[in-house]
Amino acid sequence: MSATPMNKSMSDTDALMAQTATLFQRKRMVAFGVPALILAYFVYVFFAFDVPGLMSRASAENARALVADTYSYKVHVTRDNRDGAVEVAIEGERKGEYPEGESPEWVEMGRDTVIDLGGGHVVVFGPETISYDVPGYGMIRATPSRSKGVVQEFPTDDLPAWINSSKNRLAITTEAGRLSVTRNRSEVFRYFTGWELFFFTLDSPYHGMSVGQVVGRALGGEAGEIWEDFWHNEMWRHRDVMWAIFETILMAFLGTMGAAIVALPIAFMAAKNFAPLKTVRFGFRRLFDFLRGVDALIWTIVLTRAFGLGPLTGALAILLTDTGSFGKLFSEALENVDDKQIEGVQSTGAKPVQRYRFGVIPQVTPVLLSQVLYYLESNTRSATIIGAITGGGIGLLLTQAIITQKDWEEVTYYIVLVVLMVIFMDWVSGMLRRRLIQSDDAGH
């Protein structure tokens, strides 16, 4: 009697063992197979993307210039070798030029221009000869001439790596700065830490004042002028930048809210419980798929042709794409509506419009609002990219600054602002979500 159940349980155990073994086999396959597949894919992509070629093309020089420029700036002292005129300009820009006869204290103007680069490095622009006294190396002389190129004298015969010399050009790069001499031009760069002229340009009376002094002046009734000088700073264009940020947020806001307004009524036509006709439902769902599938990029291109460049075009591109996304999300939310509430409203003799207003809308509002606010935040980021294509907002400024490839401090400034903008929108949308959808949060 007792043998049969024993046998049975034994065979059960065997079966279980076998089952477990196969299960383990499969698990092991997955555990090794999936990483192996991913690895194989990475190897394929490594060659498909030509990473080895990219590494050889990558420019460490560019990277260094970029990083250095984000936290430092250079002042150019330039001598026109044909007429002997010397100019001092921050970043070599017209907007950063020192007025005639003025110069920073480390540049002494006169018959000879003496440029003290600090640490004992001194460059002198003489009437004929340019000399650079490098501590620990000696005096380097260069005489630009029409006929013979740049005539150069060095204290040693073997040139160190930081000197780049050819018949028509001399370039010296030391830790204190950089000197380059060609037939037409002699130029010295001196590097300083910080963002130059961020608050006031050289033509402003407030340039060079300490924070205390400026605050004192502001309290003394000059706040308006101080603000004007800062706001219209030509170098950093604070006013345009703030406008651009505002424009980007505007694009995101108009696009998202417009899409929500357009999508809400249409979503009813795509929801099973509100649109009994299958063909209608099918048609609207495909419309949403189409709007979403065409994607913001193609909409942007098409709309730019019709409406020209600018923020409106960007807003409309976001509006069209997100009408598709919202239509889909809203109709799904509407399909999950509880019928009991609608029946309750109906039992009080409510007309269809009232049934929607009091039976449906209160149920879906939290879901809808939370989706819309989430998209608002994410669209702020999209608006930055779309702005770069449609020519509006901070995206445009950013691409322009990057394309010129020299104003990296401005690029850094814009990036910081963009990040702050996105974090701000994230915060706003999170706060609104909590405020407006308290019931939803309490439920969790």
Which residues contact another protein (rule: CB under 8 A)? 38, 41-42, 45, 48-51, 54, 57-59, 62-63, 66, 247, 250-251, 253-254, 257-258, 261, 289, 292-298, 301-303, 305-313, 315, 381, 384-385, 388-389, 391-392, 395, 398-399, 402, 405, 411, 415, 418-419, 422-423, 426
Tokens linked to 122: 């001194």
Q: Which is nearer to another protein, 201 or 256 (CB)?
A: 256
Shortest CB 53 distance to another protein, Å = 9
> What is the smallest separation between the CB atom of 426 and another protein, expressed in angstroms?
7
Tokens of 114: 């003496």
* Residue 342 tokens, joined: 């609608």
3-state secondary structure of 9: helix
Q: What minimum distance in Å lies between the beta carbon of 228 and another protein?
A: 23
Query: Which residues have a Cβ under 8 Å from the Cβ of 363 and sit 6 or more positions away?
Result: 337, 338, 341
Residue 169: beta bridge partners? Answer: 166, 182
- Smallest distance from another protein to CB 307, Å: 4
- In this complex, which beta carbon is closest to another protein, that of residue 269 or of residue 402? 402
| CB of 423 vs another protein, minimal distance in Å | 5
Nearer CB in complex with another protein: 206/307: 307
Q: Based on CB atoms, which residue is closest to another protein, 98 or 253?
A: 253
Instruction: Please tell me the number of Cα atoms within 13 Å of 176 on its side-chain side.
Output: 17
> What does the block give as tokens for 22?
């196969």
| Cβ distance to another protein smaller for residue 296 or 333 | 296
Q: Which residues, at least 6 apart from 389, have a Cβ–Cβ distance to it below 8 Å?
A: 297, 300, 301, 304, 395
Taking the least distance from each CB to another protein, the nearer of 75 and 333 is: 333
Residue 312: CB minimum distance to another protein, A: 4
- Alpha-carbon distance of 334 to 272, in angstroms, equals 8
177: which 2 tokens? 């700065």
Residue with Cβ nearer another protein (54 or 442): 54
Beta bridge pairs of residue 142: 130, 152
Q: What is the DSSP code string of 325-380? A: HHHHHHHHHHHT--HHHHHHHHHTT--HHHHIIIIIHHHHHHHHHHHHHHHHHHHH
Q: What is the H or E stretch that residue 42 is in? A: helix 3-48
CB of 351 to another protein, least distance (A): 19
